[in-house]
Every structure is written in structure tokens, then in C-alpha cells.
Amino acid sequence: MRIISGKKKGLRLMAPKKLPVRPTTDMAKEALFNILNNNYYFEDLKVLDLFSGTGNISYEFASRGTENIIAVDAHQGCVRYISETAEKNEFPINAVKKDVYEYLEKTSTKAHIIFADPPYDFPLSDFSQIANLVFEKELLLENGVLIIEHPKHTDLSEIAHYTNQRRYGGSIFSFFEWTGDVETP
């Protein structure tokens, strides 16, 4: 994996092969960050990276100047790798080892961008639970967005607060925003 832009642009990172991860492709990541770049100043953001895996998305935010990043993953090896990589590259990433659903249930931390990249074989109910918890707990800051990465055969458009999606290869990013006119089920 490589960092696409920012102060560490071009940096290649090699995660241990034994980690149970599927990093976001460079093409999809670049497209996502082009969208975000048009809507946010990265230096001002608070970011929550769920199912963070290798930390790929967190590193990209850090390279672009985001100073407040929390990466949550249940796998100890992933959390260790993110912590070591963040320290080595002076990235302001706080890696947390916790089940994502448990973390969302208990946290009061709010973010501008919440990015979730759960396993692609999740049932629709598990994807829905992510969005439901984020909106029930009001974890998005003003003008914030929840972005869930998922496979092309999974349709999240019926989940409350869904606004749109973007497809890049076999990956889709679904966007969810607080619009004030939709009740969370």
C-alpha cells in the first residue's frame, strides 16, 4: 500500500502478511480523497476509522495534515501495526483495540468523518448496525459524514441517512449524512 498525497506522498508501507485485512485499493482511495478534498480542510478534521485493518485510510488522513485520528480494530496485530507505523512516521493516530460495535456503543467521541471498512462478507444487518449506532449516538459533528466501504453486490441505499454512493472497481463507498428529516429506526 502507498500513501497517495500529503507530506508522506509516495511512502510505501508493507503490512505483515498474516493480518486478516483487505486494504482499500489505491484507485478507490484516491477517488475517495478527491471527493473529501472538495468538501473538507483535512487539518480541521476529527476522523474515526472503523475496522481500520492496516490503517491505510488513517495514514492518508495523517499525511494530509489531519491531527485527530482514532483507528479502531478488534485484531491485536492490526492495532500493533498501526501503532508502530504511526509512531515511526510521526502520524497522530490513536489505535484502539476494541470490537467496533462495542466501541460505538460506549464512545462519546464525535468526528467529522467516520470511515468504516468492515469485512465484505458481512450480512446487511451488520452494515446497518454501523449506521444506526453512529446516528443514534449522534457521533457525527456538524456537516459530518459516515462512509461505509462495501462490495458491489451489497446495497445499503435503504439504510436511514443514506445519501449516495460511488463505485470504484469492486468497491463501493456509501455515504450517510444527518439531514434532520429522517428518523433512525
User: Tell me: the pLDDT tens digits for 128-137?
Assistant: 999 999 999 9
Average pLDDT, the chain: 91
pLDDT confidence band for 12 (50 / 70 / 90): confident
- 59 within 8 A of 85, measured Cβ to Cβ: yes
Per-residue CA distances from 162 to 66, 88, 104, 114, 159 (Å): 25, 37, 19, 14, 6
Report the C-alpha gap between 43 and 61 in whole angstroms: 9
pLDDT tens-digit readout, 101-146: 999 999 999 999 999 999 888 889 999 999 999 999 999 999 999 9
Question: How large is the average pLDDT for residues 71-83?
Answer: 96
For the chain, how many helices (H) and strands (E)?
5, 7
Domains of the chain and CATH, by start: 29-34+44-170 (3.40.50.150)
- Which residues, in sequence order, are bridge partners of residue 50? 72, 116
pLDDT tens-digit readout, 22-47: 777 778 888 899 999 989 999 999 99
String of DSSP letters for 67-133: -EEEEEES-HHHHHHHHHHHHHTT--EEEEES-HHHHHHH----EEEEEE---TT--HHHHHHHHHH
